[in-house]
Amino acid sequence: ERNSTGESNMSIFGPPKERNQDATLYVGGLDPHVTEDLLAELFIQAGSLASVYIPKDRVTGDHQGFGFVEFKHEDDAEYAVKIMTGVKLFGRPIRVNKSAQDRKHLDVGANLFVGGLDVDVDEKLLADTFGVFGMMIHPPKIVRDPETGVSKGFAFVAFDSFESSDAVIDAMNGQFLCNKPIRVTYAFKKDTNERHGTEAERLLAAKNPNR
């Protein structure tokens, strides 16, 4: 199978063994019908591709609305950000930004812990439920047993603004999801006893020019 430039597509699909983060783009807002083939067809217009990967749910096989496109050259990745952002696939505009630098700027600390989850709650349900409150910087992460893949009953959700995360806590803490009340609070910062959502984080977020 070859793409429009005559390059073989066979080796570029799926998660790469090693990825050049500076040449890798995060592509969000993907319609369920979007495939790796389609992303490759679109992004090859900006330059030669090294890999195209859309993570999929291990159980359902559905993707979570985002993927990664790695170019062979960093300049092509920069060019793709400029020309591909807002392009519509199946009527939905896609979001494109650099996987390495740009997405770090989005992580202001509006990170939530969601507990009390029923085992039937999956990432898609969380994304659908919480996505209405604002822009998530990455899909919800349900913590699962590494052996069985069964949910441990809690998850982490991160937004690009404290307005969104505050709204989620106000609206969703104590609400029922799959007939079980859930608990929504700010998550603990890594390796500390301090939760996200501090005044210092909020001040930094307010000054962040990338918002």
Per-residue pLDDT at 13 exceeds 70: yes
- Can you give the C-alpha Rg of the chain in angstroms? 18
Per residue in 129-169, pLDDT (tens digit) is 887 787 788 889 999 999 999 999 999 999 988 988 999 99
Cα separation, 209 vs 131, whole angstroms: 23
Say if residues 53 and 36 touch (Cβ distance below 8 Å). yes
Please tell me whether the overall predicted TM-score, pTM, comes out greater than 0.85 for this model: no
Say if residues 169 and 184 touch (Cβ distance below 8 Å). yes
Per residue in 91-116, pLDDT (tens digit) is 999 988 876 444 444 678 899 999 99
Cα separation, 133 vs 136, whole angstroms: 9
Strands of the 141-144 sheet, one edge to the other = 141-144, 151-159, 110-115, 183-186
